[in-house]
Amino acid sequence: MGLFSSRKSSVKKEAKFAEPPAAAPAPAAVAAASSDDLSLQKTEGFRRGSALATKQDLEAATLADFDVVRVLGRGAFGKVSLVQHKTSHEKYALKTLNKKMLVAVKQSKGAITEREVLKQKGHPCIVRLYWAFQDDESLHMVLDYLPGGDLYDRIEELREAAPGTGFPVARARLYAAEIALGVGHLHDAHGVIYRDLKPENVLVDAEGHARLTDFGLARVAAPGEAARGKSFCGTAEYMAPEVVVRGKEGHDKAVDWWGLGVMLWEMLHGSTPFDDENHAKVQKKIVEDVIEVPAATDAAAAALLTKLLVRDPAARLGAGPSGTADLKAMDFWQPLSWDKVYERAYPAEWIPPEAGAAPEPDDDDDDDSDDDEWHMHVPGAMGGKPDSKPDLFRGFTFRREASFVGPPETAKRGSKEQLTRTASRMKRQESKLK
């Protein structure tokens, strides 16, 4: 039995989200804007528009404040929906996690970490969190809506058009640079290991730039210590060898640079270096296979890949205190200035299509009977008393000081087409071993 359901529920059903939650949300632990938030103002992408003190500035949010438009994606513990704020009409992405499922698979800490990471980070290559709130059944995070979908869909488009090909080097380079900036910021400014780098977790914003989302597996270091993890986590094809072998030393931030190597390879060639139908074989390849960069690879990209896909984490590019700087010094990036990448000064090659007036309905499933089918199949996770361990999620609630950050990165543009959710995508989700 797969860990995750592959059923889609109908959008009509999502309208239930528009109803007020059964119980009042937990008391708000309203956080003041941190210095991170202020850094948002430095970048062009965040400067647009004036920041008025609206209802959003002043109050914590509840589900009743949003209309659900459609489902954007489904993941391990819940789903992400496109929503519209009822009074401001701004669009956001609402990520909803089922509490019982999180408890059943001991991932409640992951949800709190995710909120913690998203709350703090103000960076052009990282998705922003506006509100976090909860009700009896679920945790909710209101995020920037990024209308370009995720990189999985962008790579899938290429695979369909011409199997075996990837993005042109310049396009892959800019995405990889943006991912590297986001990851480097997490490592160096916040002592956070991301641990789940893969195309599904990199979103494309309205201007075509890449941003990291999904911090459910991220690990925050305690003050003064370098983040180190021991859990066997991630998605099979992107796991670093030290995670696969589960050595007693655990793993550190170098896992993210391995992940960047796998992703850059996939962006350039349309498939990962350790591709296989069978997860055990994927893991075996990660640990044992001779890694040979395809001959057709751009020479500077090949040199970078060879240094990123080094099995010994201590010898891998990006390990050590000056890791991010070492990575940035590689020739592959030479056509780019890192400051300009940060400022989003390079026009993206692919920009999401113009938003239609109304989003396309999710018309592929009108079956109302599977209301809860998006939940992961965990025995005992469903039913019973809601929120039986409310303390586990204490402090989840959050409200960003909107007057510090300006308006959301909302959908000037929006994806017209319904995102394709292929069988292979579901398969990869199932491979997310936690």
Ligand X SMILES: Nc1ncnc2c1ncn2[C@@H]1O[C@H](COP(=O)(O)OP(=O)(O)O)[C@@H](O)[C@H]1O
Residue 86, CA distances (Å) to 39, 54, 64, 386 in order: 28, 12, 8, 27
Using the minimum distance from each CB to Mg ion, give the nearer residue, 130 or 152.
152
* Among 9, 84, 98, 201, interactor with Mg ion by CB under 5 A: 201
Provide the mask over 208-227, with x wherever binding to Mg ion is found by CB under 5 A and - wherever it is not: ------x-------------
Provide the mask over 57-96, with x wherever binding to ligand X is found by CB under 6 A and - wherever it is not: ---------------xx-xxx--x------------x-x-
- Which has the closest alpha carbon to 108: 97, 119, 118? 97
Closest approach, Cβ 106 to Mg ion, in A, equals 18
> Which one of 196, 252, 256, 387 is the catalytic residue?
196
Number of C-beta neighbours around residue 154 at 10 A: 21
Longest dimension (CA), the chain: 60
Does an H or E element contain 401, and which?
none
Closest approach, Cβ 303 to Mg ion, in A, equals 30
Q: If 0-12 CB within 10 Å is exposed, 13-18 middle and 19+ buried, where does residue 386 land?
A: middle
> Which one of 119, 198, 253, 432 is the catalytic residue?
198
How far is the C-alpha of 216 from the C-alpha of 196, rounded, in Å?
Answer: 8
To the query of whether residue 214 is one of the catalytic residues in this protein, the response is yes
Using the minimum distance from each CB to Mg ion, give the nearer residue, 214 or 430.
214
Using the minimum distance from each CB to Mg ion, give the nearer residue, 9 or 213.
213
Q: Is residue 73 a contact partner of residue 64, using CB atoms and an 8 Å limit?
A: no
Using the minimum distance from each CB to ligand X, give the nearer residue, 313 or 409.
409
Q: Is residue 220 a contact partner of residue 192, using CB atoms and an 8 Å limit?
A: yes
Q: Does 213 bind ligand X (CB under 6 A)?
A: yes
Q: Which residue has the tokens 């350790």?
A: 274
- Which has the closest alpha carbon to 144: 124, 125, 130? 130
How far is the C-alpha of 367 from the C-alpha of 339, rounded, in Å?
Answer: 50
Provide the mask over 127-166, with x wherever binding to ligand X is found by CB under 6 A and - wherever it is not: x---------------xxxx--xx----------------
Q: Which residue has the tokens 């990209």?
A: 301
Residues 42-74: b if buried by 16+ CB within 10 A, e if exposed: ebebbeeeeeeeeebeeebbbbebbbbbebbbb
Q: Does 98 bind ligand X (CB under 6 A)?
A: no
Segment contacting ligand X (CB under 6 A): 175-183, 208-216, 240-248, 381-389? 208-216
> Which one of 135, 214, 362, 387 is the catalytic residue?
214
Q: Does 387 bind Mg ion (CB under 5 A)?
A: no
How far is the C-alpha of 25 from the C-alpha of 21, rounded, in Å?
Answer: 8
SS3 label, residue 174: helix
Using the minimum distance from each CB to Mg ion, give the nearer residue, 75 or 261.
75
To the query of whether residue 281 is one of the catalytic residues in this protein, the response is no
> Which one of 201, 213, 297, 410 is the catalytic residue?
201
To the query of whether residue 98 is one of the catalytic residues in this protein, the response is no
To the query of whether residue 196 is one of the catalytic residues in this protein, the response is yes
Provide the mask over 71-90, with x wherever binding to Mg ion is found by CB under 5 A and - wherever it is not: ----x---------------
Residues known to be catalytic: 196, 198, 201, 214, 235
Which residues of the chain form contacts with Mg ion (CB under 5 A)? 75, 201, 214
Report the interface residues with ligand X, using CB under 6 A: 72-73, 75-77, 80, 93, 95, 127, 143-146, 149-150, 200-201, 203, 213-214, 216
